[in-house]
Structure 1
Amino acid sequence: MADLSTDDVWRVLEKQNFMVIGMVSARGMARTAGVMLCAVERVLWFTTNTQEWKAKHLAANGEVSATVPIPKRIPFVPWVKIPAATVTFAGVAQILPAAQMPPHARATLLRGLELGGEERGALIGVGVRPVGDFVTYGVGCSLLEMRDTEKARGRAPAA
């Protein structure tokens, strides 16, 4: 098993810009969505708008799961396909008006988008705070070690 600390996992997460967020609809159906992310003070932020199904599901139930893929490549041989490493965790989502997001997350994710209301709803920020453990695969190990599931798996406290 890969020997990882909470800080090791956060260093990896802070470099990523994409995650898949899993949630439950009001009818109890599982749903996932890919979102652009920005990590600020151990919270993963993304944006959406109030009329999107993501916002409605998260408002009804803020408990989520998330998987962050970490691309792996062989230097100088980019055509060889390597599976992504992953960090998976459970979390609690908090919804805020986009104007109230941390400044770094707002600047990174919005990049000039309007904060005012639109036909599609007002822009909001969603902060996901991990809880429990990070479960990893391929984080903190070499590409060769990724072939051995025991060496490639890891776990670290989220807090």
Structure 2
Amino acid sequence: MSHAPSDAPAAPGPRLTSAQVWATVARQPFVVVGMVNRRGEGRSVGVSPAVEGDDLWFAAAATDWKVAHLRHQPEVSATVPVRRGGLLALVAPIPPATITFRATAQLLTPDDAPDAVRRRLLRGVTEPDGERGGVVLVRLTPHGDFVTYGIGVSLRVMADTERARGRVPVARG
């Protein structure tokens, strides 16, 4: 079924604050980080994050390919899938909502990270893995805007891409 063009203004997206988006990001167990290698090829990796202040953190072995890519090019994109639908998602094809942002990565030693980040990301790690090298913590500092889809709207509204999309500055102030 096609819809005839309308002169009416597009329905506004959700009214979100950066604090609401940060709170949603902080509750998620998984983030996809997109980066570029030395040959200019895009790569992505899933990580388990920790949020502290206005930064998102993850741990990696110092010898991991993602660490080499971040040393070469610290500008990344991140996409946070947000599961929606509860029990309904078991029987209906409900896509996840998403939060996407640009960020600058900084590689730090565990000693340079806040205590809460170390506790969250290094839980159960007692000593460095000799084969994989030492651990580094990656701090992603978002900039620009959070671009959202399906955050702060009902499942029914998610079907309307104009109304389901949002944009909010990453800065909380």
TM-score range, shorter chain: over 0.9
Equivalent in 121, 125, 130 of residue 109 of structure 1:
121
- Show structure 2 runs of 5+ residues with no match: 1-12
Greater shift after overlay, 98-107 or 20-29?
Answer: 98-107
Higher strand share: 1
1:55-77 per-position Cα deviation (integer Å, ceiling 9, x unaligned): 00001111000000000024466
Q: Where do residues 1-159 of structure 1 align in structure 2 (5 Å cutoff)?
A: 1-75=13-87, 78-116=90-128, 118-159=130-171
> Tell me, what secondary structure is at the counterpart of 1:156?
strand
Do the aligned residues in 2 keep the contact of 1:73 with 1:81 (CA within 8 Å)?
A: no
- Show structure 1 runs of 5+ residues with no match: none
Q: Moved runs in structure 1, 4+ residues, more than 6 A?
A: none
Percent identical among aligned pairs is 43
Query: What is the total number of aligned residue pairs between the two structures?
Result: 159
Larger Rg: 2
Q: Judging changes above 3 Å, is the alpha-carbon distance between structure 1 residues 43 and 77 closer, same or farther for their aligned structure 2 residues?
A: closer
Alpha-carbon distance in 2 for matches of 1:134, 1:76: 27
* Aligned amino acid, residue 97 of structure 2: A
Do the aligned residues in 2 keep the contact of 1:51 with 1:121 (CA within 8 Å)?
A: yes
Task: Report the TM-score when normalising by structure 2.
Answer: 0.87
Displacement of 1:121 after TM fit?
A: 1.2
* Aligned amino acid, residue 64 of structure 1: V
Alpha-carbon distance in 2 for matches of 1:143, 1:34: 25
Task: Report the TM-score when normalising by structure 1.
Answer: 0.94
Alpha-carbon distance in 1 for matches of 2:99, 2:123: 26
Do the aligned residues in 2 keep the contact of 1:74 with 1:80 (CA within 8 Å)?
A: no
